[in-house]
Chains A and B, each alone.
Chain A
């Protein structure tokens, strides 16, 4: 992991309050697994960096794509940055989806809202490994939906919106039927809990988020209870991806 001033080479809105940001720099060369993230210092006025997951990476070209949602002052200021500007990035951080260990005949990917992005690079790499992929993508409404076409390149896609303006009306847990042997989920903790209860017994991986401090494992701000003697995991460095059996979702 290192700190680097990365250059913005593309930056555009792709859905309501959602932006696509492409950064160039050597941190992209260091990305090991889908599901890792970068910790962005929007400007020196902010005391906490913003963790943003990596949606796509091109190691050879040194480029990575981040998708983020406007959540407050920090992300709003980030959205005002222009192509050609540089930003202070710490990364790549965290451990992602352990692709090498995964032996699947049909993978189920479940993303909720701004939890969808890290699954995109995962879908791509599973597809490259020859694993059939079905992606369940949940959004609040059509205006918030993104990347539904892009995921189709790597397998079946089931779109769900809370208000029914696109795809199935309801929740991602309504459309999880199928003969899958492994699932990968990223989204709000309530969604992760519902998914892991519904798919209890299936091998699963959860990517979690939490308000973070240092992003490197030192401050213990972003912890989640764990099912062992140690009793906890640090989301920023032990995760953000965990085996579903490893952590306790509250």
Chain B
């Protein structure tokens, strides 16, 4: 299947930040089996990230506040991308920054070496930049326009769920020239330890991911699908093949799997292998057949397909 800039063998890819730059997962399976790889965020300079603890478990999910730790865009181009390029898999670079200038600089440099960009205007764990661009439609439009202008490859904008009306943001970045959307990033959250009386995560606030956020993500994909004409990469709590089908029915054209890689490093490969049988069992002939299906279903009484 084809998405802007991406020729996908299947609609499954690991989500940014949950897969590093692929090296750590390569001993577990052949990365060429993936639909695509979304790399960990790149910023203009090296970033050391937040203090520890950086993760905390929660019901059906986890909080993280890594803080965009990465070696910087130049080091990623030199040391990380060549490794992924040895595999037959499209590579998407996640682009982050604190200012429009930084986003533009990173996008200009890295877009020559990858197949698409994922513009990260939704990281909740850094003090400057990041999510402020993702919660204000005018700022989101501005940074998207600037990045689209310098990028050599299609730009997917990663949306934050920490907004009142995600449709407004989606429309703003579509208007700004985004080729696609990826959604959702994590929801901000906090856990406090009764024994210490303090937040568990050093950054205090972290991003909630995992099954706990899946219904929020599915609802947002469903709403945005009706409002825009660009493809959506759906994500948020996917850990089974049925979760994948749920996102496709809501309107996603492909999906990304995040925290579930921590439970099971083989989860992407296993879901890719299970997908054809699951499609058949629900009566679909192809992935394309599923996309947006929940918006088209006309049967008035429920038809159960198993």
User: A-side interface residues toward B, CB under 8 Å?
Assistant: 1-3, 41, 44-49, 74, 88, 90, 210-225, 231-232, 237, 250
User: B-side interface residues toward A, CB under 8 Å?
Assistant: 17-20, 23-25, 27-28, 40, 46, 48-49, 51-58, 60-62, 64, 66, 69, 200, 210, 259, 261-266
Task: Return the contact of B57 from the options A3, A74, A220 (Cβ within 8 A).
Answer: A74
- Given known pairs A3-B266, A213-B262, the reply for A220 and B24 (CB within 8 Å) is no
CB distance from A200 to the nearest CB of B (A): 24
Task: Return the contact of B24 from the options A3, A216, A225 (Cβ within 8 A).
Answer: A216
- Given known pairs A47-B60, A218-B19, A231-B48, the reply for A211 and B263 (CB within 8 Å) is no
Residues of chain B within 8 A of A216, CB atoms compared? 24-25, 265
Please state if B262 and A211 are interface contacts (CB–CB under 8 Å): no
- Given known pairs A47-B60, A210-B53, the reply for A219 and B17 (CB within 8 Å) is yes
Q: What's the dominant secondary structure at chain A's contact region?
A: loop
Residues of chain B within 8 A of A90, CB atoms compared? 265
Chain B, residue nearest A48 (CB): B57
Chain B, residue nearest A2 (CB): B28
Please state if A47 and B69 are interface contacts (CB–CB under 8 Å): no
Please state if A213 and B265 are interface contacts (CB–CB under 8 Å): no
Please state if B27 and A49 are interface contacts (CB–CB under 8 Å): no
Q: What's the dominant secondary structure at chain B's contact region?
A: loop
How many Å lie between the Cα of A41 and that of B262 in the bound state? 10
Please state if B262 and A219 are interface contacts (CB–CB under 8 Å): yes
CB distance from A79 to the nearest CB of B (A): 17
Residues of chain A within 8 A of B20, CB atoms compared? 217-220
28 A-B pairs with CB atoms under 8 Å apart are A3-B265, A46-B57, A47-B57, A47-B58, A47-B62, A47-B259, A47-B263, A48-B55, A49-B262, A49-B263, A74-B57, A90-B265, A211-B200, A212-B55, A214-B18, A216-B265, A217-B20, A217-B24, A218-B18, A218-B23, A218-B24, A219-B20, A219-B55, A219-B66, A220-B49, A220-B54, A221-B53, A221-B64
What 6 A-B pairs are tightest by C-beta distance, nearest first?
A: A218-B20, A218-B24, A211-B53, A47-B62, A221-B55, A221-B54
Task: Return the contact of A214 from the options B24, B51, B52, B61 (Cβ within 8 A).
Answer: B24
Task: Return the contact of B263 from the options A44, A74, A232 (Cβ within 8 A).
Answer: A44
How many Å lie between the Cα of A231 and that of B46 in the bound state? 10
Residues of chain B within 8 A of A218, CB atoms compared? 18-20, 23-25, 261
Residues of chain A within 8 A of B61, CB atoms compared? 47
Chain A, residue nearest B57 (CB): A48
Task: Return the contact of B262 from the options A2, A47, A88 (Cβ within 8 A).
Answer: A47
Please state if B265 and A214 are interface contacts (CB–CB under 8 Å): yes
Residues of chain A within 8 A of B28, CB atoms compared? 2-3
How many Å lie between the Cα of A86 and that of B263 in the bound state? 16
How many Å lie between the Cα of A88 and that of B40 in the bound state? 27
Please state if A220 and B69 are interface contacts (CB–CB under 8 Å): yes
